[in-house]
Amino acid sequence: MSLKTAAQIRREFLEFFKAKEHLIVDSAPVVPKNDPSLLFTNAGMNQFKPIFLGEQDGLKDDGKIWKRAADTQRCIRVSGKHNDLEEVGHDTYHHTLFEMLGNWSFGDYFKEQAIEWAWELLVDEWGLDPDRLYATVFEGDESDGLPADDESARLWVEKTSISPDHVLKFDKKDNFWEMGETGPCGPCSEVHVDLRSDDERKKKPGAELVNMDDPRVMEIWNLVFIQFNRQNDGSLVKLPAQHVDTGMGFERICAVLQRKTSNYDTDVFQPIIQKIADLAGKTYGDDEETDIAMRVIADHIRAVSFSIMDGASPSNEGRGYVIRRILRRAIRYGWDRLDFKKPFMSKLVPVLADQFADVFPELDGQIEYIQNVILAEEKSFLNTLGQGIELFNSMIEGKKKLSGDDAFKLHDTYGFPIDLTELMAREKGVEVDTDRFSELMKEQKERARAAGKFTASEKSDLEWTVIKDAESEFVGYDDVKTNTSILATAQRDDQKLILLQQTPFYAESGGQIADTGFIERGSEKLRVLDVQKSDKGHVHYVDQLPEDPSGEWIASIDIERRREIEKHHSATHIMHSALRDVLGDHVAQKGSLVAPDRLRFDFSHFESVKQEELDRIEQQVNEKIQENIPLLEERNVPIDQARDQGAMMLFGEKYGEQVRVITFDPNYSVELCGGTHVDATGRIGYFRFLSETSAAAGIRRVEAVTGKAADQKLRNEQRLLKQIQTVLGNQKDVLPGIQNLIEKNKELEKELEKLRQSQAGDSLDQILENGKEVSGVQLYTGKVDGADMDTLKQLGYDALEKMKSETVVVLASVDTEEGKVYIMAAVTDDLIQKGVKAGNMVSQLGRIVGGGGGGQPNLATAGGRFPEKIEEAFEKAEELIQSEL
Ligand code: ATP
Ligand code: MG
């Protein structure tokens, strides 16, 4: 029987569970958007966390709630609780990014079916040899107060054909699965496979190698029985229902079914390995050192490409930094072991895209963008990599330990992530003082933090004084002023906070800044300075708290300011469409700010936007403004319907079931948005770009103004033009006027230069009046103020013209701005034959003034750094003549 391809294996897995009434769902992005506890999606269950926690019922599809699902989820394990980075490439079965095949029961079936079906698929469908399979179960844990999972052990024996001595018990490290420090968790039961030869299996039973990090006896599938939620304080709370969460390593099962002992030998990795081998001019399998490098690169390009595809990009912190680290690790391996001294990683992206065209087609649509981001990173790191490696080698020369300060320098100046430095150190058998390194990093962070303002996370732990028990409600889409009650107040340091029952104040979100205004009653006026979202409702930051908060209040926002914000927000939507129209569909929003006096918008686009393109975008936005397109605002639209309407969705963004859709012409701009907008585009008035710059690798930033701010900008420009005209003597046409000035300035500079030279010439004459006789030769020395090297040379030639024989002239000048010294020596021809040579002379004089030089025997120049040594150099000239003659 021919072996199955990877694509076939993936398909058969999904079909197997589809036949068992599972809903097949898409992989979530590897960059989770709504879970701050997680840097990257690290397991298939992440996207179902709300269901496990009882916050959501199951999966809605086709008007039905599904309690069973299956999918292939791309996962990344390079940070937090699950971090396999160290192993990747060195072993053959851990990856930074891998696909996890999973089936789920949301409070539906439990252990029995999960175990039965896993066996059915592996043994009955795929024909694995039961004798090579092992199942592990949880042995219990006293500190968590959990008993052993005897039920699973019994089910394996009763419901499958596994031999009872292949069912093994392990502790919580191996058989109690947790996604992170907190969150859904539970005991698990794993399937391991023994891939060794029959001979070896006879010598040592596989049972002894399970969970022993032997690549030939590896875990392939984990069946997790989710029953608890791990709390912040470490305790376990029982969940309302029991769930099944399974994860099978796709690359591993491919290796097993394709009878390989390494994931990299399967058709999942071979195309990319081949491409790398081609680029390197090497063969995979020839040499373990270069094989490791090829594996690292083949693996890392996947993690990097998919993260960028899902909306992250290399940067200096958080997620972006992890991506940067992975990329740099691969580049270093390529440099060191495959002799890749030029960018190569970006060339691998098309191979990946081709391979994943059927599963993750999003990759194909973004090839160019991903390549560009990677290429830029490669270029910048390759610039310093060589120097950094050299420095590293000199730092560890003759040492057993690399100091924390040195590691920090490599990090700070050469961009070496600490794990890269550690890796290099390990290869050389050297330790790294990571404690000192962390200390330095912490100090740097603190310096940075001291410079910034406090962050949202520090806002928690407020003590609220409750005035009235009711829900808080935002009414600001419809009202700018409302009667209301104060629900609660709080104070911390000099911050004073208020919760309102009804509030027209928009809280900062989606880039739009908060409204300001007043909460008032009679003559008592509380000024609202800022508004932020919280789980209790909008929090109003006010200048003072009321003496008596009870009773009725009137809340009103600064309407004029809100109107200006709205103009900028609606203009942002229109500009977004115009950007896509002019630059292409790869343009995706990466961040935005909407204020009353300007807007800022970050988007993916690789090169700077050309002036001509900016003009076209600006023109298109203004045309749309003049069309006066009315706003269509729809609240509580089901997400699927919004998608059908063609609403722009951000990559990797997770949206709720119901969304708000803002449309300006269904064929032009449809966006999901919680912000406030003008009722028709004409109100925006006028749109004008302020700037276009780079925000990060592959991300551009534009700033623009509309409404009053645009009006103000035009007025300012007009005023500036008037002022220029006045300065130019009331010339109407300022351009020729300015060009004239520049021309004139150039001429004046030339004249000045001439003047300088003639002045220097004056002093040459003076110098030539005061010679000194040395061994029958006339030696003239002197300083020429303000002369540069060329002037000195010219003076030297002038002097040789005047003094035909038996003469040496040594001139010096000082460039006070740069702190440099120039020296020139000229020697008449008759002396050259006698052994006095200008070239030799200046090289010695140059040394005295801390530099060097050289030239022809009759005229040579030198430069140096010690103006105070000029006299000494003159004396040296005398000595040199004496010693030659
Ligand atoms: P291991 O002990 O081999 O690291 P694990 O216990 O960390 O595995 P789980 O968290 O149970 O793995 O994940 C479920 C499945 O995903 C595993 O059975 C394995 O097949 C696969 N898997 C886990 N980590 C990786 C990885 N880094 N690369 C490839 N596959 C992986
Ligand atoms: Mg692991």
CA atoms of 143 and 771, how far apart (whole Å): 98
CA atoms of 433 and 401, how far apart (whole Å): 7
CA atoms of 225 and 114, how far apart (whole Å): 9
Which amino acid residue places its CA nearest to atom 24 of ligand 1?
94
Residues 6 or more apart whose Cβ sits within 8 Å of residue 40: 30, 31, 32, 75, 76, 77, 78, 79, 307, 319, 322
CA 516 distance to own-chain centroid: 33
pLDDT of residue 826: 95
pLDDT of residue 311: 82
Q: How far apart are the first and last CA of the chain?
A: 98
Q: Which residues, in sequence order, are bridge partners of residue 520? A: 525, 554
**Ligand 1 site, residue 94, Cβ cutoff 6 A:** yes
pLDDT of residue 457: 35
Q: Which helix (H) or strand (E) holds 779?
A: strand 777-783
Which amino acid residue places its CA nearest to atom 19 of ligand 1?
249
Identify whether the C-beta of residue 42 lies closer than 8 Å to the C-beta of residue 65.
no
Which amino acid residue places its CA nearest to atom 30 of ligand 1?
249
Which amino acid residue places its CA nearest to atom 7 of ligand 1?
82
Look at strands 431-432 and 401-402 and give their pairing: parallel
**Ligand 1 site, residue 98, Cβ cutoff 6 A:** yes
Residues 6 or more apart whose Cβ sits within 8 Å of residue 445: none
pLDDT of residue 4: 95
User: So what's the architecture of 763-884 in CATH?
Assistant: Roll (3.10)
CA atoms of 89 and 299, how far apart (whole Å): 7
**Ligand 1 site, residue 408, Cβ cutoff 6 A:** no
pLDDT of residue 150: 95
Amino acid at 243: H
Identify whether the C-beta of residue 572 lies closer than 8 Å to the C-beta of residue 510.
no
Q: What is the DSSP letter of 345?
A: G
CA atoms of 224 and 172, how far apart (whole Å): 12
Q: Which residues, in sequence order, are bridge partners of residue 681? A: none
- Cα(48) to ligand 1 centroid in Å equals 19
Angle at 757 between CA 756 and CA 763, to 5 degrees: 95
Identify whether the C-beta of residue 869 lies closer than 8 Å to the C-beta of residue 771.
no
For the beta carbon of residue 175, count every other beta carbon within 10 angstroms.
25
**Ligand 1 site, residue 220, Cβ cutoff 6 A:** yes
Q: What is the DSSP letter of 124?
A: I
In the chain, count H helices and then E strands: 25, 37
Output the DSSP codes for 808-850: EEEEEEEETTTTEEEEEEEE-HHHHHHT--HHHHHHHHHHHTT
**Ligand 1 site, residue 74, Cβ cutoff 6 A:** no
pLDDT one-digit tens code per residue, 676-706 = 999 999 999 999 999 999 887 788 999 999 9
Identify whether the C-beta of residue 846 lies closer than 8 Å to the C-beta of residue 852.
yes
The CATH number fitting domain 462-557, selected from 3.90.1170.50, 2.40.30.130, 3.90.600.10, 3.40.50.2300: 2.40.30.130
- Cα(249) to ligand 1 centroid in Å equals 6
Q: Residues of the chain whose pLDDT is less than 50?
A: 451-460
Q: Which residues, in sequence order, are bridge partners of residue 304? A: none
- Cα(219) to ligand 1 centroid in Å equals 7
CA atoms of 691 and 391, how far apart (whole Å): 40
Identify whether the C-beta of residue 225 lies closer than 8 Å to the C-beta of residue 150.
no
pLDDT one-digit tens code per residue, 216-252 = 999 999 999 999 999 888 899 998 899 999 999 999 9
715: its two tokens: 């007025």
175: its two tokens: 């058989």
CA atoms of 289 and 338, how far apart (whole Å): 9
Fold of 562-715: Threonyl-tRNA Synthetase; Chain A, domain 2 (3.30.980)
* CA nearest neighbour of 80 among 55, 116, 43, 52: 43
- Cα(266) to ligand 2 centroid in Å equals 21
**Ligand 1 site, residue 252, Cβ cutoff 6 A:** yes
CA atoms of 797 and 876, how far apart (whole Å): 22
Identify whether the C-beta of residue 83 lies closer than 8 Å to the C-beta of residue 94.
no
Q: What is the DSSP letter of 262?
A: S
- Cα(218) to ligand 1 centroid in Å equals 9
CA atoms of 761 and 196, how far apart (whole Å): 92
Pocket probe for ligand 1: among 74, 78, 94, the residue whose CB has the most ligand atoms within 8 Å is 94
Look at strands 481-492 and 517-521 and give their pairing: unpaired
Phi, psi torsion values for 517, nearest 5 degrees: 160, -145
CA 696 distance to own-chain centroid: 8
CA 63 distance to own-chain centroid: 39
74: its two tokens: 């791309």
CA atoms of 332 and 297, how far apart (whole Å): 10
Look at strands 687-696 and 669-672 and give their pairing: unpaired
Which amino acid residue places its CA nearest to atom 2 of ligand 1?
219
pLDDT of residue 763: 78
3-state secondary structure of 883: helix
Residue spans of the domains in the chain: they are 6-268, 269-388, 396-452, 462-557, 562-715, 763-884
CA atoms of 752 and 863, how far apart (whole Å): 24
- Cα(219) to ligand 2 centroid in Å equals 9
**Ligand 1 site, residue 247, Cβ cutoff 6 A:** yes
CA atoms of 217 and 227, how far apart (whole Å): 29
* CA nearest neighbour of 72 among 23, 117, 19, 13: 13
For the beta carbon of residue 161, count every other beta carbon within 10 angstroms.
12
3-state secondary structure of 269: coil
Identify whether the C-beta of residue 874 lies closer than 8 Å to the C-beta of residue 810.
yes
pLDDT of residue 585: 84
CA atoms of 798 and 843, how far apart (whole Å): 22
User: So what's the architecture of 6-268 in CATH?
Assistant: 2-Layer Sandwich (3.30)
Residues 6 or more apart whose Cβ sits within 8 Å of residue 237: 228, 229, 231
Q: Any idea which ligand is nearest the CA of 42? A: 1
Identify whether the C-beta of residue 42 lies closer than 8 Å to the C-beta of residue 66.
no
For residue 701, CA distances in Å to 2, 102, 608, 691, 698 come to 53, 40, 9, 8, 10
- Cα(42) to ligand 1 centroid in Å equals 10
Tokens 């020429």 found at: 784
Residues 6 or more apart whose Cβ sits within 8 Å of residue 413: 384, 388
CA atoms of 568 and 704, how far apart (whole Å): 8
